[in-house]
Amino acid sequence: LITNDDYSELLEIRKKKIGRNLSIGYKDKLKIVKGALQYLYDDKGRTFVDCVNNPSHVGHCHPVVVRKMQHQIATLNTNTRYLNDAITEYAEKLTATLPEKLSVCYFVNSGSEANDLAIRMSRHFTKQKDIIVLDHAYHGTSTVAMEMSPYKFDSKGGSGQMPWIHKAINPDLYRGPYKYGDAEAGEKYAADVQRIIEDLKKEDKAPAVFICETLLGVGGQIPLPENYLKTVYDYVRAAGGVCIADEVQVGFGRIGDHFWGFELQNVVPDIVVLGKPIGNGHPLAAVIVTEEIAEAFNNGLEYFNTFGGNPVSMATGLAVLEVIEKEEMQQHALETGNYLMDGLKALMAKYPIISDVRGHGLFIGAEMVKDKTTMEPAVPEIDIVVEKLKAKGYLLSTDGPLHNVLKIKPPMPFNKQNADEMVELLDIALSEL
C-alpha cells in the first residue's frame, strides 16, 4: 500500500513501468479512487465535481449501467461469431436514433479504431486515398487516425503531414478570418474545402473523405457556422467523396438541442463515428454507414474484430441508451447548458479576460485572452484559474490550439446547482487574477 502524501513512490513506479509520454493532470496530482455520477472522490476523502469527463456520459458508475454490465459479464462474454440477441437489439436501437440511411453498424473498441475503419471503408467505396481534415483536429491514436490529426502530426514529435492529407481552415468565428456576424461565414469557410478539391483535380485526384467533428473539440470547443457542413458536404459529394461525421465527443444528446451534432447543421453524413459516451467509459465505439458503403466493404475479405460487439459491450450500450431516454438527459443538457452559458456570459461581461463563450448544451468553451484587440491567449492565467477551481473541488481543463479555452463537458447529471457554484468560484478566481 502506497501511503506517502505526495505520491512520489507511486509516480516513480509509474515512470518506470508505464509508457512515459502520458501526462498527468494538475500541479498537485490527484489520486481518484471512486466516482458517482458527476462526482469524483480522492484518496484523501475530498469530493470533486467532474466538469470534463464526457466519456462518463450518464454519470460515473451509473447504477443501471453497472447492474446490466454485471449481469451480462456473469452470464456470457464471447466474440460475435455466435448468434446473440444483444448485438442485433442494440444495432436496431442505435440506428433508430439516426437518419434512416445510416443503417449498418460495425462495433469496435475505441474512437481511434472506429475512425481507422471508417477511412478504410471510405477508400473501398471511392477507390481514392486522399483525406480532407480540419486544421487542429484530433481523430485518434491509430496510425491512420494520427495521420489525419493535425493536432498530433503538427506537434513536437509528430511525423508531419502526409501527402494524401489536406488541411482545411478551422471554421472558427471568433479567431478565424470570417467572424461572428458574417452571415456568409459558413459558405466562406467551406470554400477552403472546395479549394482543396480543385487542387486535387489538377493532379487528377479526388477526395476519398472529408472528416470533421460536428462541434470542434480539441480545435477549441467550437460550434460550426450555419451552412458550413451543408456546403462542404455538397462540394465533397460532387467530387465523389464520402462525408464522415466524428461524433466521438459530442454525440448522444450532449448538445441538448439534438441527439447528434450533425443535426445542428441539417446534414446527413455518409458515415458516423461514435465513441467515448457510447459505453459510459467502457471501451466501446461504432462506425455506422449507409447500405451502399457497407456493400462496397463486403468485398470478399472478412472483417472480424475479437472484442468488437461482444455481449458485455452491447449490454452496456443498451443500458446507456435506456438511461439517456428514461432520465431525459438530452433535455437536461439543454436546460443546464443554457443556464451555465448564461452564467459564463455574465462573467464575460464583468471580466474582459473572458472574450468568448460558446457551445451547445453541456459542450461549452470559454476563451480567455490578455487583450481583446490583440487576442493574445491568456496563458498562464487560464492555468491559474483551473488550479484554483480544482482546489475548490471543480475539475476543469483547457483546450484549443492556443491552450486558452476553458473546456466544459461534464457527465450529463451535472446540474444547475453545480453550474451556480462553478460560476461563483470562477468569479472569485477571476477577481483574484
Question: Which residue from 72, 194, 249, 355 is in contact with ligand PMP, where contact means CB under 6 A?
Answer: 249
Query: Closest CB to ligand PMP among 141 and 305?
Result: 141
| Residue appearing with cell numbers 450555419 | 226
In the Cβ-directed half-sphere of 88, how many Cα atoms lie within 13 Å? 5
251 close to 57: Cβ distance less than 8 angstroms:
no
| Residue appearing with cell numbers 470533421 | 212
Question: Which residue from 48, 107, 125, 138 is in contact with ligand PMP, where contact means CB under 6 A?
Answer: 138
| 151 near ligand PMP, rule: CB under 6 A | no
| Residue nearest ligand PMP (C-beta atom) | 111
| Residue appearing with cell numbers 457527465 | 411
Other beta carbons less than 10 A from residue 42's beta carbon: 14
Tell me the site size for ligand PMP, rule CB under 6 A: 14
| Stretch binding ligand PMP (CB under 6 A), from 5-13, 66-74, 199-207, 244-252 | 244-252
| Residue appearing with cell numbers 487560464 | 382
| Stretch binding ligand PMP (CB under 6 A), from 69-77, 246-254, 345-353, 412-420 | 246-254
Query: What is the smallest separation between the CB atom of 213 and ligand PMP, expressed in angstroms?
Result: 5
| 399 near ligand PMP, rule: CB under 6 A | no
**Strand 285-289 vs strand 104-108: parallel, antiparallel, or unpaired?**
antiparallel
| Beta-sheet strand order (sheet of 405-408) | 354-360, 363-368, 405-408, 397-399
Other beta carbons less than 10 A from residue 75's beta carbon: 10
What would the grid cell of residue 38 be? 458527476
Tell me the β-bridge partners of 271: 244, 289
| 355 near ligand PMP, rule: CB under 6 A | no
- Displacement of CA 409 from its chain's centroid (Å): 9
Query: Closest CB to ligand PMP among 217 and 377?
Result: 217
Query: Closest CB to ligand PMP among 112 and 227?
Result: 112
What would the grid cell of residue 12 be? 516513480
Query: What is the smallest separation between the CB atom of 363 and ligand PMP, expressed in angstroms?
Result: 12
Instruction: Determine the Cα–Cα distance for residues 120 and 150; give it in Å rounded to an integer.
Output: 19
Query: Closest CB to ligand PMP among 57 and 139?
Result: 139
| Residue appearing with cell numbers 457556422 | 225
Query: What is the smallest separation between the CB atom of 248 and ligand PMP, expressed in angstroms?
Result: 4
Alpha helices in 307-362 (DSSP H): 311-326, 329-350
| Pattern 95-134, ligand PMP, x by CB under 6 A | ---------------xxx--x-------------------
Which of positions 199-218 make contact with ligand PMP (CB under 6 A)? Answer: 213, 217
Residues engaged in binding ligand PMP (CB under 6 A):
110-112, 115, 138-141, 213, 217, 246, 248-249, 275
